[in-house]
Structure 1
Amino acid sequence: MSQETYELKAEARERVGKGSARELRRNGLIPAVIYGDKQAPISIALSTNEVTKRIHAGSFMTTVATIDVGGEKYKVLPKDYQLDPVRDFTMHVDFLRVSGNTQVTVEIPVHFINEEKSQVKIGGVLNIVRHTIEVHCPADAIPEFFDIDLSGKKIGDSIHISEVVLPKGVTTVIDRDFTIATIVAPAAGVEEEAPAEGEGEAEA
Structure 2
Amino acid sequence: MSKSQIVFNVEVRERTGTGGAREARNNGFVPGVLYGGGIDPVAISLKKNEVIKAIETGHFLSATATLIHKGERQLVIPQGIQMHPVTDQPMHVDLRRIKVDQIIKVEVPVHFTGMEASPGLKKGGTLNVVRHSVELNVPAGKIPEALEADISKLEVGDNVKISNITLPEGAEPVITDRDFTIATIAGRGGKAEAEDAAEDAAAEAAEVPATKVAAPKKD
Return the offset for 1:87: 1.4
Match of 1:144 in 2: 145
Q: Choose 1 or 2 for highest CA Rg.
A: 2
Is the partner of 2:22 in helix, strand or coil? Answer: helix
Report Cα offsets for 1:92-130 as digits up to 9, x if no partner. Answer: 111111113311111111111111222112321101111
Counterpart Cα distance in 1 of 2:51 and 2:181: 34
RMSD, matched Cα: 1.7
Q: 2:3–2:65: 8 Å Cα contact kept in structure 1?
A: no
Report Cα offsets for 1:33-62 as digits up to 9, x if no partner. Answer: 111111111110011111111211233223
Larger RCO (CA within 8 A; separation ≥ 6): 1
Q: Percent identity?
A: 45
Q: TM-score, normalised by structure 2?
A: 0.80
Return the offset for 1:172: 0.3
Is the partner of 1:120 in helix, strand or coil? Answer: helix
AA matched with 1:49: N
The correspondence of residues 63-78 of structure 1 with structure 2, limited to 5 A, is 63-78=63-78
Q: 1:12–1:70: 8 Å Cα contact kept in structure 2?
A: no
Match of 2:210 in 1: none
AA matched with 2:172: T
Match of 1:106 in 2: 106
- The aligned length equals 188
AA matched with 2:51: V
Q: 2:65–2:76: 8 Å Cα contact kept in structure 1?
A: yes
Task: Point out where structure 2 has 5 or more consecutive residues left out of the alignment.
Answer: 194-219
Match of 2:206 in 1: none
The correspondence of residues 40-59 of structure 1 with structure 2, limited to 5 A, is 40-59=40-59
Task: Point out where structure 1 has 5 or more consecutive residues left out of the alignment.
Answer: 189-204
Counterpart Cα distance in 1 of 2:87 and 2:100: 37
Counterpart Cα distance in 2 of 1:72 and 1:146: 32
Counterpart Cα distance in 2 of 1:6 and 1:152: 36
Q: Does 1:10 align with 2:38?
A: no
More helix by share: 2
> Which aligned segments of 4 or more residues in structure 1 are displaced greater than 3 angstroms?
none
Return the offset for 1:78: 1.2
Is the partner of 1:116 in helix, strand or coil? Answer: coil
AA matched with 1:94: D
Q: 2:143–2:168: 8 Å Cα contact kept in structure 1?
A: no
Return the offset for 1:8: 2.0
The correspondence of residues 1-204 of structure 1 with structure 2, limited to 5 A, is 3-118=3-118, 119-175=120-176, 176-186=178-188, 187=192
